[in-house]
Structure 1
Amino acid sequence: MDGTGRLLTRRYRAALACNACRKTKSKCDGERPACGRCARQSVECLYTQNVRDKRIERQEERRAHFALKNRVNELEARLAATSSPRQTIDEPEDRPSPAQVSNAGVSDTGSRGTNAESAVDILATGAFDHRPAAEIGYFGPTSNHALFRSLTAAMVNSGHRLTLLRQQESDRQHVPVPEPPRPRRTLLPGRTSALDRPTNEDPFPGPLTAIQWVTAFFDTVGAVLPYVNESALLREVDTAGSRLENSRTTPRSVEALLNIVFAHALIATSEADSAEPFYHRAIALVLLDEQTVCNSTLETVQALLLLGSFQQNTQRAMASLTTHALAVKTSYQLGLHSPSCYEGLGTLEKELRAKLWFAVVNQDRILSTALGRPCLIPPHYVRNDILDSLVPLQSSRTVAMPSSMESLLYFRHLTSLHEIMGITVESIYGSNIGSPSDLLPGDLTAKTIELLFRLQKWRDSISPFCILGPKSDLSTWPASRFQSERYMLLLSIYYHKTMMLASAPVLMAVLERATDYAAADDAATAGILQDASVPVLKSDLHAIREYQRIASSILRHRPAFFKSNAVWWVCNFICLTMCLHLFAIWLISILSERIPSAIGVTSSTVETLLLEALDTLKSVGGSSMMSLKAHRCLHRYIRLARVIASDSSRRQSCTTGSVGSDIFHDLQQNSLLPSGVFLWDGFPDASMTSVGDLFGQHAENDFLAATSLGVEPGASSFDATGLVFDGTI
């Protein structure tokens, strides 16, 4: 904390001194009509009643100065980020997306655009760069990074099969290509870590303003994050105001909770810029203050949970890992995980502690699946008897049902769904330590089908809610209904997310069989895998279509839904997952005839769905750098796949070597790949699993040339060092 926030030392006699003694800071005996000092010096002795300490005025001046200084720094950083050429990102195509009319409402979902992204989140986008500036870290099999690596490998393997004979013709010596120097890791201008930013010293808002913000929070985000009690928080607002009047301090954990609640409320009401000072103050109070970390309370866990949610929905998802780790530590410290710690507590206390514990568990599952990290809370640490501390589920939904009861029902159903999500990560993803490829095809399909049955059972048990189906015509819903039916919409979104998570390993296994020349000889195993994968792929495609329908309807009718329900980051993640799954299905439909007919699709149908999904990703992602890079990269992959698809009619009539040469010649003629990339033996290598491997043979300047990849001389530095894009798509 800054020195301006410290308590003023008490000076009881200051108000009793005369003006002359006050001015010289001399000891005054307070005698009337003249004090002893003034009588000795024969000066006029005047007394002025001053009920306000001037030090308070100086303190407020310093606070105003700090607030102004922070605001200037913030505006300078935003200006630098806006004017920097690295931030100039041209859109890959001019055609409007289906939801472009409402895109403006989602583009700033991430608080303040790309300037809000932390350095570690920007680093993670390197997965879509030709050569990442630095090591992006570990992203396990449940992450979109892993899906992208698998798709890249499939693209490379599809070319590998076509050039197999050319690779085996001779063992000519090749001139080694020198590895280009790795660029130094530099942070983009205007980017600073959230922990390095100074905290804003704005005073506590007025009582009426604070009450309005708290009410706005519980009308929006607080309704879907039901581990903060509205009446208790309003009491804290009133108590905090009285403490300020009496020059007493508010407990740091409570102050942090209030600040992050204010930040959420401002984000939900489209006042993102005003939310940042409260967010940074909450960071300083709950992450950087040793006293708060050591003296943890339930308010500390509440603040950490809300802080993590705020970070995720303002493009700081990677930074939220630190916040989440501290929330797990604090939960263990308070014994929220142990049933014995609930004994002897009142009903409300048990309910609050159970909500907090399962909110931490749910957050753990979300971060684990999205970022591909092992769970910090293993499944066997979670005791379901703690869940019984919450009120029993009701079987019917009534108009008179209190909103708090409806919110609690939603939370319980969501918790049981996240339990299935945790089982999925453990059973088929090896807890994000192993890999689905470690399982035999029969075991993988059996486990996946078992998980799909479990999900269907969960779907049938979520009364009084239901999962939206194809019969629900969302196009006829008024905007207000999207908010009134938010629990049903959110459960549907998370349900389809879990369906895609469970189906992904089988989908990637089928794609690998379709593109791997080494596995093509094992026809028996391939046939069994194809037959067993049909129901899984059907379920995956159904989940994709339903999520696409929900997301596009929200974008069209109520784009503010994402931020007012703290679900933007999850939906943006699902959009990218949906695009990657559709691209995989499209590749399968190009390379195989049996599976597409079995699941009832054609390559043209899947391509149309893929383009619609990319439009949705672009609209939901807004200014997210990860979404922008992925959007561009997938468009380039689509062009590459179209060339492969157009050559399918020639595969049967030509030799493998000549076909491969023709394809790669077409790729170069269409400026899809730099000249010479495919022109030596041994390429493509099946070990290549990233965009960096695919384009790693060229120096950085190769991508700056106007003749490389069809980029005109006016390409920005982002295009040159990130994903180079040809505007003719």
Structure 2
Amino acid sequence: MYWQLVSLIVHPDHATLVDRRYSDSGSQSINHTLGSSSNHAIFWSLNEIVTKVGTNSGLLLHPERLRNSQANTDYGPLPDPPSSSVPGYGTDRVGTDLLPERQTAVRWIIQFSDTVGSLLPYISEASLISGLDEVLNRAGNTKRSIRPMLALLNIVFAFALSVTQEHSPETYYRQTLGLLDPEALCVSSSRLLQTLLLLALYQQNSQRSTESLTIHCLSVKVAYQLGLHAPISYSHNVPEEKELKSRLWFAVVNQDRIVSSALGQPSLIPSSHVRMELVELLSSKSYVDDIDSSYRNSMVDHFRDLTTLHQIMGQALEEVHDSNMSPVTPLSLHELLEKTTKLSLEMGRWRQNALPSRILETIADRDAWSPANFKASRPTILLAIYYYRTQLMTCGPLLVAVLRSITRKSPDCDSELLRDNIAAILKTDFQHVLELHRLISDILQRQEPFFRENAIWWTCNYCALTTTLHVFGFWLASGCQGAEFITKQVSSVNSMDELLNECLGTLKAIGVASAMSINAYRRIFRYVQLLRGISLGPGDKAAELEPTDTIPVGAREIPSGQTLPTAENGSTSGPSLILDDSIDFFTQVNENDLIYGNWLGPNFGPNEFDVLGFI
């Protein structure tokens, strides 16, 4: 198929990643490395840490016992994954008669512009309506020239319907794919780039984020072919053209940072190619001072803040995560602390300019908010979500590295000064975890349509797992001998069990329709249950953990609404229960078994596992 050939030319690894989703051998291994910025890498690093502690303690959880506990568990039904859309790429089965009548089309364009498109400065309502009239006036003409505009309109309609839910958006999504045939993809244009940007965003928010990686590769190709990266290419443009070109360029750069960090891939656009002087071209300030221009300037200010934030994210990917070249950062603990501190200071300066305390305090008081409050504050809410996400991505490797160093009995953490500096950074990280968790939880409880209306579900779904993993790391640290300094300054350490339970509940709620979200919730929940439920008395050894017919404590599914088990006295000292007498958990379960093996239940391809960043 031509589409697969294009993706192979753009990036062979990415083509393999997409093709493997639709092969008949879904259980075979993935031939790509997931970098340290991904949730998957954090998950496996924490597994390694627990396993190391168990090995040091001379304890083993017999693999047969683990298998029995899984085999006797009623998983319950899982949501159906989205159907494959790859066969629809570049087909000739495109019916232009599927366009709605003009009145309906205009209504959908307005719906898109009021929701998802309201903070996307590279596409305007006026240009979409103008393009609609162009297409309708030439509806009987099948010339190739109208296909890019037709594709753009179709993905806009898909977004509008995903918000209103009056019809299924899949018809227009697949119509967009059908219009992206070889000829359309080979002729680079602003309209094509607008379509690809929206298409990738739609795929991410419809559980197709792995597919969006190929679309993103094409976006980068088109952006470079249009010369959007080169300041000299702007020299002969009028102000309006400079605006559009710079907005499209930074939209591609921002998407590159988001996709690369979430899916653990190297950035396709290195930081050296991002010339920040082009930020000054985002707004020509040539418009008259009216209500529309005031709103437009506000939208551009939001986009500018988002762009500078993702510039810092790009630096973090390169400096802290080694451009996602491996699942574990190669930096020493001292180097990691230095770079994390530097980036944290940059993030602090960004926050003072874009999200001063008074603004964050305003959105923090959400108890009595109405849907109108959420809509009015959405630029700030979205910036806050991306800010917290970037902070967690930056500090995650430090948390993992400290735990790994302590469990390996490395002397790296012997310095009291070093410990104090690490504790200060991780105290801030924990506060960001709390704020992000509560923000996502509040949106879920009070204004769930916010996710669809702002195309932010995938990011929040990803963040729900990130916060859970960070809390799990702090939970381990609070009970691990030698790691207490990490949480000594954390005010809510005594309620860590409760917080971990809340994070798992949020993960389950936001991914209620996602097979991967539900599976991830079950696995992490059961992981914690097993760790909490197995407590050996003095002198107990691995021999006493031989398999029996009895399912271990915590191996069964806990009904919805129940919480993690606590000690008999009702205290929340669970982590010390685990790590004082630890087990070697998941010793026999490798990465590919976790994703593809029966231990997870039914077999799912990569596309069903990508929504949480495991791939």
Which residue is equivalent to 1:632? Answer: 522
Which structure has the higher relative contact order (CA within 8 Å, separation 6+)?
2
1:28-54 C-alpha deviation (Å, 9 max, x unpaired): xxxxxxxxxxxxxxxxxxxxxxxxxxx
Could you tell me how far 1:360 is from its partner in structure 2?
Answer: 0.3
One-letter identity of the residue aligned with 2:171: P
1:245 and 1:139 mapped to 2: Cα distance? Answer: 48
TM-score (norm 1): 0.67
User: Which runs of 5 or more structure 2 residues have no equivalent in the other structure?
Assistant: 1-17, 62-78, 557-582, 610-615
Q: CA deviation at 1:514?
A: 3.7
Matched, 1:325 2:207: no
Report the CA distance between 1:463 and its aligned residue. 6.8
Matched, 1:642 2:536: no
TM-score, scaled relative to structure 2: 0.79
- 1:284 paired with 2:206, answer no
Q: Residue in 2 aligned with 1:561? A: 450
Distance 1:669 1:313, change over 3 A: closer
**Gap change, CA 1:161 and 1:257, over 3 Å in 2:** same
Residue 223 (structure 1) aligns with: 118
Give the whole-Å Cα distance in 2 for the aligned partners of 1:338 and 1:688.
51
2:154 corresponding residue in structure 1 = 259
For 1:535, the aligned partner's letter is A
Distance 1:660 1:469 in 2: 51
Match of 1:411 among 287, 298, 303: 303
Choose which of 245, 248, 258 in structure 2 pairs with 1:366: 258
Q: Which of 275, 297, 302 is matched with 1:383 structurally?
A: 275
Cα distance change on mapping 1:382 and 1:538 into 2, 3 Å = same
Residue of structure 1 in register with 2:427 after alignment:
538
User: In structure 2, the residue corresponding to 1:633 is in which secondary structure?
Assistant: helix
Q: Match of 1:563, as an amino acid?
A: R
Q: Distance in 2 between matches of 1:141 and 1:326?
A: 24
Give how far 1:583 is off. Answer: 0.7
**Shift of residue 243, structure 1, vs aligned partner:** 1.5
1:193 to 69, 81, 84: 84
Structure 1 residue 192: deviation in Å? Answer: 5.1
Q: 1:548 aligns with which of 429, 432, 437?
A: 437
Change (3 A) 1:667 1:717: same
| In 2: Cα distance, 1:491 partner to 1:377 partner | 22
Q: Distance in 2 between matches of 1:547 and 1:398?
A: 36
1:679 maps to none
Rounded Cα–Cα distance in structure 2 between residues aligned with 1:139 and 1:122 = 20
RMSD: 3.6
Q: What is the distance in 2 between the residues matched to 1:459 and 1:384?
A: 18
Instruction: Give the partner amino acid of 1:277.
Output: T
Q: How does 1:597-636 map to 2 (within 5 A)?
A: 598-601=488-491, 604-636=494-526
Aligned partner letter, 2:532? R
The 8 Å contact of residues 155 and 173 in structure 2, kept in 1 or not, is answered as yes
1: distance between equivalents of 2:267 and 2:595?
34
Structure 2 CA distance for partners of 1:471 and 1:562, relative to 1, 3 Å: closer
In the aligned structure 2, how far is the partner of 1:465 from the partner of 1:400? 28
Q: Which structure 2 residues correspond to residues 296-695 of structure 1 after superposition, within 5 A?
A: 296-391=188-283, 402-434=294-326, 437-462=329-354, 468-469=360-361, 472-516=364-408, 518-519=409-410, 522=411, 525=414, 529-592=418-481, 594-595=484-485, 598-601=488-491, 604-643=494-533, 646=535, 654=538, 658-661=540-543, 670=552, 684=584, 690=590
Q: 2:168 aligns with which of 264, 269, 274?
A: 274
Report the equivalent of 1:678. none
Q: Distance in 2 between matches of 1:297 and 1:400?
A: 27
CA contact (8 A) 1:226 1:407 kept: yes
Give the Å deviation of 1:573: 0.5
Q: Compared with structure 1, are the counterparts of its residues 446 and 572 closer, same or farther at alpha carbon in structure 2 (3 Å cutoff)?
A: same
What residue number does 1:232 align with? 127
Whether the 8 Å CA contact 1:122–1:625 is kept in 2: the answer is: no
Query: 1:138 matched to which residue of 2?
Result: 33
Structure 1 residues 463 and 509: alpha-carbon distance in aligned structure 2, compared to 1, 3 A threshold: closer
Change (3 A) 1:624 1:506: same
* Distance change >3 Å, CA 157–CA 302, structure 1 → 2: same
1:392 Cα offset (Å):
7.4
- Deviation per CA, 1:6-46: give whole Å up to 9, x if none: xxxxxxxxxxxxxxxxxxxxxxxxxxxxxxxxxxxxxxxxx
Structure whose alpha-carbon radius of gyration is higher: 1
Cα 1:358–1:465 change in 2 (3 A) is farther
How far 1:248 moved relative to its partner? Answer: 6.8
Corresponding residue for 2:103? 208
Contact map agreement 1:530 1:595 (CA 8 A) in 2: yes
Displacement, 1:321? 0.6
Distance 2:101 2:405 in 1: 64
* Equivalent position amino acid for 2:515 in 1: M
Deviation of 1:249 (Å): 6.7
Deviations along 1:230-256, whole A, 9 cap, x unmatched? 211111112222222678775211111
